[in-house]
Structure 1
Amino acid sequence: MKNVEEQSITSIALDDDTVMQYLLQNPDFFIRNARRVEQIRVPNPVRGTVSLVEWHLARQRNHVNQLEEEITLLMEQANANETLFTSLLHLQASLITADSLQDMLNRLQCWARGFGLASASIRLFSDRWNIGAPSDFTHLALTRSAFEPLRIQRLGDELHFLGCLNGPELLLLLPQAKQVGSVALSMLGDAGELGMVIFSSRDTQHYQPGMGTVILNQLARMLPTLLERWIERA
């Protein structure tokens, strides 16, 4: 006949949470039951079953491999970021020494093509910059009302957009561009009120949502001051 303690134990419904709670409250369980633990078999998709010890070691190996992959990826990203920042410093020095607005735009274009991009373009809101006729750079002007639907659809409250644009959107922002697969668009000004810089790639997968925008942030902060050398603010 079972005693009261045995009856109370058998009356407990065992589930994952109950077992886990017991093991947490009894950390010496595996020490006290070492021989029995060695007999426990865990399902394995390749070998059928493996011992609990083998299963635990395999999990540790997988975790170590995952950590090594993450460290390698972080190192690659750090090297890539260092390269980009070095290139950004060179770009800044190059743009500062430009002797005209067209020269500055050409240098920005060359910098972008050095990364295999199709183009780098600047569009400025016409109510914030004096670039109307007889200026030679009226093609940079963009009315805020024309851009507003695109801003609402693609950017919302963000200052950057990375991804693909449709035909009418590309025609609005990059009317001379051909074979544009994806773009990185960054608004100029603290609230995006001055205009935008747009980098385009022929690869539809080159720019995608979720990618980093550190370099775009730096460029967006740098360009308005440089543009003011050649264009008056309205």
Structure 2
Amino acid sequence: MDSQQDTAVFAPSGEPDEAAVLAYLKAHPDFFIRNAAQITDMTIPHPVKGAVSLVEWQLGRQRERIGTLTDDLMQLMIQAHENEYLFSRLLKLLASLSAATSLDDFSERLNQWAKGLKLSHAKIRLFTDSWRLGAPFRHQDLALSRAHFETVRLSRFGDRNHYLGQLTAPEIQLLLPDSAFVGSASVSMLGGQHDLGVVIFVSRDKHHYQKDMGTAMLDQVAYFLPQLLQRWVELA
């Protein structure tokens, strides 16, 4: 039976058939034990060393697998560290904003949090058709026309909920009219439906915010800010 299987390993041309060889080795797992001495002497072509023994080749493969697993583990550790940092920062912000005693205090606490991230400041703008911003509400600097913002949204956001990068002079005049210098900024749509306004974080460094940056922290901030703001501002 074995001799028939051995013969089946060869193609009609007399050359070994690779598929049949693999099938034979799988069917005879003791092959490597029975031929240990010969296997030790076998060599395999190597692009750098010319040739290596089968044992050395196998060890190299194992080292590659270990290296890949190590890289994967390092990535997981980095992600875990980043997630821990993210959670810590968000928890600190949420605790601070929840303790605010007025809308002015709320805005100042948000600014201080931004400065803790080495940013210049933060600004909230609320769409006038989503919030009750008429008298006696006195914080008119928060009001933003949705129609006026639509041009920015179409040119900067596309189908995203954030824009990260530099702003033009007209965009700064619309969104941040009181800001002395804006290098770059993140502009995030507020609310679960992304339709209540924007929160803007400003950096003096024009290269700080880049379009390919992650937005996990901004997602969370933009989501919970409107809920906290409703202590002082009513939804329309």
For residues 91-144 of structure 1, give each alpha carbon's deviation from its aligned partner in whole angstroms, at most 9, with x where no partner exists.
Answer: 212112212111101101111111222322212112112335774422222222
Distance 1:6 1:63, change over 3 A: closer
8 Å CA contact retained: 1:42, 1:52: no
Structure 1: state its 5+ residue gaps: none
**Alignment-derived partner of residue 165 in structure 1:** 166
8 Å CA contact retained: 2:190, 2:226: yes
Alignment of 1:47-62 (within 5 A): 47-62=49-64
**Alignment-derived partner of residue 124 in structure 1:** 126
**Alignment-derived partner of residue 43 in structure 2:** 40
* Secondary structure of the corresponding residue to residue 148 of structure 2: helix
Alignment of 1:112-151 (within 5 A): 112-132=114-134, 135-151=137-153
Matched, 1:83 2:85: yes
**Alignment-derived partner of residue 25 in structure 1:** 23
Letter in 2 for 1:84: L
For residues 35-81 of structure 1, give each alpha carbon's deviation from its aligned partner in whole angstroms, at most 9, with x where no partner exists.
Answer: 36842322233x34333432332232132123223323322332332
Structure 2: state its 5+ residue gaps: 1-7
* Secondary structure of the corresponding residue to residue 190 of structure 1: coil
* Secondary structure of the corresponding residue to residue 41 of structure 1: strand
Q: Distance in 2 between matches of 1:24 and 1:203?
A: 59
TM-score of the superposed pair, with normalisation by structure 2: 0.76
Alignment of 1:212-223 (within 5 A): 212-213=215-216, 215-223=217-225
Q: Distance in 1 between matches of 2:14 and 2:70?
A: 47
Distance 1:38 1:166, change over 3 A: farther
8 Å CA contact retained: 2:182, 2:202: no
For residues 170-206 of structure 1, give each alpha carbon's deviation from its aligned partner in whole angstroms, at most 9, with x where no partner exists.
Answer: 443334252423x333211222110121223326255
8 Å CA contact retained: 2:43, 2:51: no
Q: Distance in 2 between matches of 1:62 and 1:166?
A: 46
Structure (1 or 2) with the larger CA radius of gyration: 2
Bigger shift: 192-201 or 147-156? Answer: 147-156
8 Å CA contact retained: 1:159, 1:191: no
* Secondary structure of the corresponding residue to residue 199 of structure 1: strand
Bigger shift: 218-227 or 65-74? Answer: 65-74
Distance 1:58 1:171, change over 3 A: farther
**Alignment-derived partner of residue 9 in structure 1:** 12
Q: 2:188 aligns with which of 186, 196, 202?
A: 186
8 Å CA contact retained: 1:159, 1:192: yes
Letter in 1 for 2:77: M
Q: Distance in 2 between matches of 1:38 and 1:158?
A: 60
